[in-house]
Chains A and B, each alone.
Chain A
Amino acid sequence: MREKLGIKELQLEVEGTVLDILREMEKIGYPVGDLVLKDGKVKRGFIILVNGKNIVHLEGLSTRVGVADKVAIFPPAGGG
């Protein structure tokens, strides 16, 4: 993802749902949505964390994020 987007980390001064954040990133030139979403849902295997917790266990894409929160996005991965 870093390769495709050209960045490692991004500081945003916005608040909203995780979906809002993804849209905001698209607005400023980082098409994360295309990479991470399919039919409005997170693609299988992709991991979105808010402060280290997977949004699947929070409110999914409707999870609210504030300026002090940390969002981490990972593509599908495996290992041992």
Chain B
Amino acid sequence: MIINFQDHLAMPRGYTGRYLEVDLTEEKVRVKDTFELPLRQYLGGKGLALYILYRELKKLERTMTDLDHLDPLGPDNVLVFATGPATGSLFPYSGRYHVMALRSPLTGYIASANSGGDFGPYMKFAGFDMVVVKGAAESPVYLHIHDGKAELMDARHLWGMTTFRATDTILEEVGDGGRTRVATIGPAGENGVLFANIINDKHRAAGRTGVGAIMGSKFLKAIAATGDSKPVEPERPEEFREKVKKYLDVIRKNPVTGEGLRKYGTAILVNIINQHGLYPTRNFQTGVFEKAEEQSGEYMAEKYLIRNRACWGCPTGCGRITKVPKGPFQIGYSEGPEYESIWALGADTGNADLESIIKANHLCDELGLDTISTGSTIAAAMEMVEKGFIPEERLEGVDLRFGNSAAVVEMIWRIAYRSGFGDELAMGSYRLARRYGAEHLSMSVKRLELPAYDPRGAWGHALNYATANRGGCHVTGYMISPEILGIPEKLKPLSTEGKAKWVKDFQDFTSVVNSTVACLFSTFALFADAYADMLAPLTGWDLTPEELMVIGERIYNLERHMMVKLGFRPEEDTLPRRFLEEPMPEGPNKGSTVPLKELLREYYRVRGWENGIPTEEKLKELGIIP
């Protein structure tokens, strides 16, 4: 494959042309030229952030004797906030941004997280395609970007504040008549909790791999972006408008994007996944939760839902606005919980009390914690307590057992402030389990806790879990869509046939989605052809779906290539022993274990990798190495 390195006839549209480099050690901000970057090869969002990080990694390789010394919570780590060409345009679902860093404090590999709300478009409205953060400040600061300029502001008075209070305070200080949006860390990020997240617009999360801890280690409390909410101009406006109109119609007519997601949100999955027998219960001990109905989307809509809400530019609006009117877990206004959060703070901890789940989710937003890793770490601890791996005294009086909803809520506070046993939970389930000689009880891959689907119930999804670059992740290649939901077509879940190619294609296309940047839920209705159809008149490039899939494959391989440099070992493409050796005890998937060896073999073959590592040939083919 020949790569046209700079394929610009003129400057492609969709980009502002400026990205910001912030050196916190030197307290300097520098405006750089987006058009010097290989935009057509990496698009934007995740892809472009990865390219920037690759450059930084190669620099570090020259100066560091051993990349093992790259401390994820040290000044050499680099953190990137990235938008893509579609962000802030009329491309449907374009209200998102992607966050990446060289090394995650939780996994040790590339940190990667994605979030909705409004903040992404506002970065662009402020004049920037990306913000690259290097070094570390001496005392807390926040960044304000606006009009293509940036200032570092004193954040000492904000340090210690919850995400809600910090957001409100920043808006009071620099907010300009509703034109400002904020992304901030909470106490969890400040305190270096390994799975701390970044919260924007108070209730949206760049959730996983501890990006909040990285931000906290740099003493960067928040980024505020100010600008006018004016959709970005496409290169060929008439054609773009026509295509957008066509696909909005497709979205409207699609039962998931047109109705289902808006009505019940992602919480609709609780009963579906439970009835299919892969709703992980009590730390993945089984796939059926007897009390699933009481935490279902239907139940939530009946009792606690006020209305739905949408991110910037979203035609669906799957967000939830909820309220718990009275009781010990009362909340006046909250957003969510999403399916993953309900599961992690619910069934995974054996918790059947939806009010406590809504409260726990709310606290995770307020304190800046990834709900999946939080719930799953607590669940691992619960199983370890149950099986005698953790002595009672260490719990300091907290009855950390499955089903104790109050304990879940309490431990969230303790984790965020690293107080008591919370200090141990703050390192995540893998390190916690290792400490107590119970490594097999951490349900994680590459130290990232697995999300809400038991791999024994969907083997393609299991393969995705084992091979997802960022670790135990569902959205990297959401095989639940074909295997359970039947979108785009129905595959047999407990079969290996064709799964490897499906996983590769999903992972590659998702990389495109994360680089465009658009919402993954668009893919219930839109595929590579729709993306090409809209990105072409937007940017001015004659993109085809085939080229987009190559771009996706390139991004995925670059990420893997960088992981290898960061110390990735082939045996880490695996699953916890439970899924390979303990047959599912009950339900429709009773008796199932994951035939991972066979799946991996075929996956590496279709990927052109050897033992989980891209071959030199593959890297050359994709233009990653010369």
Q: Chain A interface (Cβ within 8 Å of chain B)?
A: 2, 8, 43-45, 47, 49, 51-54, 56-57, 72, 74-80
In the complex, A56 Cα to B257 Cα: how many Å? 22
Complex contact A49–B275 (CB within 8 A): yes
- 0/1 per residue, B246-267, Cβ < 8 Å to A? 0000000011110111001111
* Partner-binding segment picked from B47-55, B399-407, B480-488, B531-539: B480-488
Q: Which residue of A lies closest to B257 (CB)?
A: A78
Q: Shortest CB–CB separation between residue B286 and chain A, in angstroms?
A: 13
Contact A79 B520 (CB under 8 A): no
Task: Name which of A44, A76, A77 has the most chain B CB atoms within 10 A of its CB.
Answer: A77
| Cβ–Cβ contact B588 & A79, under 8 A | no
Best-buried of A43, A44, A47, A52 by chain B (most CB within 10 Å): A52
With the chains together, A74 CA to B275 CA distance in Å? 10
What are the residues of chain A within 8 A of B340 when measuring CB–CB?
80
Complex CA distance for A8 and B49, rounded to whole angstroms: 47
Q: Is B616 an interface residue (CB 8 A)?
A: no
Asked whether B256 lies within 8 Å of A76 as measured between CB atoms, the reply is: yes
Q: Besides A52-B589, A78-B260, 8 other CB < 8 A contacts?
A: A8-B298, A52-B276, A78-B261, A78-B268, A78-B485, A79-B268, A79-B318, A80-B339
CB pair A74 B271 closer than 8 Å = yes
Closest B-chain residue to A49, C-beta based? B275
- Cα separation A56 to B340 with both chains bound (whole Å): 27
Determine if B255 and A52 form an interchain contact, defined as CB atoms under 8 angstroms apart. Answer: no
- A53 to B254: give the CA distance in the assembly, Å: 24
Q: Are A76 and B275 in contact (CB under 8 A)?
A: no
Docked complex Cα distance between A26 and B502 (Å)? 39
Q: Are A47 and B485 in contact (CB under 8 A)?
A: yes
Interface centre among B265, B486, B524 (most CB of A within 10 A): B486
Nearest chain B CB to A53 CB, angstrom units: 6
Q: How far is the CB of A11 from chain B (nearest CB, A)?
A: 16
Q: Enumerate B263-317 residues with CB–CB distance to A below 8 Å.
A: 264-269, 271-272, 275-277, 298
B501 CB–A CB distance under 8 Å: no
How would residues 479 to 517 of chain B score, 1 for a CB under 8 Å from any chain A CB and 0 otherwise?
A: 001001111001010000000000000000000000000
In the assembled complex, the Cα of A56 lies from the Cα of B493 at a distance in Å of 12
Are B486 and A78 closer than 8 Å at their CB atoms?
A: no
Q: How far is the CA of A62 from the CA of B342 in the complex (A)?
A: 36
CB distance from B265 to the nearest CB of A (A): 8
Output the least CB separation between A47 and chain B (Å): 7
Closest 9 interchain pairs by CB? Answer: A52-B588, A79-B266, A76-B255, A78-B256, A79-B269, A78-B524, A77-B268, A72-B275, A45-B255
Q: How many A-B residue pairs have CB under 8 A?
A: 85
Q: Does B474 contact A (CB under 8 A)?
A: yes
A47-B486, A80-B520 known; A75 vs B255 contact (CB < 8 Å): yes
Tell me if B475 counts as interface (CB < 8 A to partner A).
Answer: yes
Q: Can you list 9 A-B pairs with a CB-CB distance of less than 8 A?
A: A45-B487, A47-B484, A49-B275, A77-B260, A78-B257, A78-B487, A79-B267, A79-B268, A79-B269
CA distance A53 to B524 in the complex (A): 22
Question: In angstroms, how far is the closest chain B Cβ from the Cβ of A64?
Answer: 17
* B521 adjacent to chain A (CB < 8 Å): yes
Task: For A43, give the chain B residue with the smallest CB separation.
Answer: B255
* B338 lies within 8 A of chain A by Cβ: yes
Decide: A52 and B260 in contact? CB cutoff 8 A: no
Using an 8 Å CB-CB cutoff, how does the interface string of B351-366 with A read, 1 for contact, 0 for none?
0000000000000000
Given contact pairs A2-B298, A45-B256, A77 touches B269 in the complex (Cβ within 8 A):
yes
Q: Which residue of A lies closest to B278 (CB)?
A: A52
- Chain B residue numbers with a CB within 8 Å of A47 are 272, 484-486
Given A52-B277, A79-B339, A74 and B272 touching (CB < 8 A)?
yes
Measured CA separation A51–B486 after assembly (Å)? 17
Given A52-B277, A72-B275: A80 and B492 within 8 A (CB)? no
In the assembled complex, how far is the CB of residue A58 from the closest CB belonging to chain B, in whole angstroms?
11
Q: Are A45 and B486 in contact (CB under 8 A)?
A: yes
Of A8, A51, A80, which is within 8 A of B478 by CB?
A80
Question: A80: which of B275, B276, B474 is its contact (CB, 8 Å)?
Answer: B474
**Are A49's CB and B520's CB within 8 A?**
no
State the CA gap A43–B255 with chains docked (Å): 10
User: Is B587 positioned at the interface, with any CB of A under 8 Å from its CB?
Assistant: yes
Whether the Cβ atoms of B481 and A78 lie closer than 8 Å is: yes
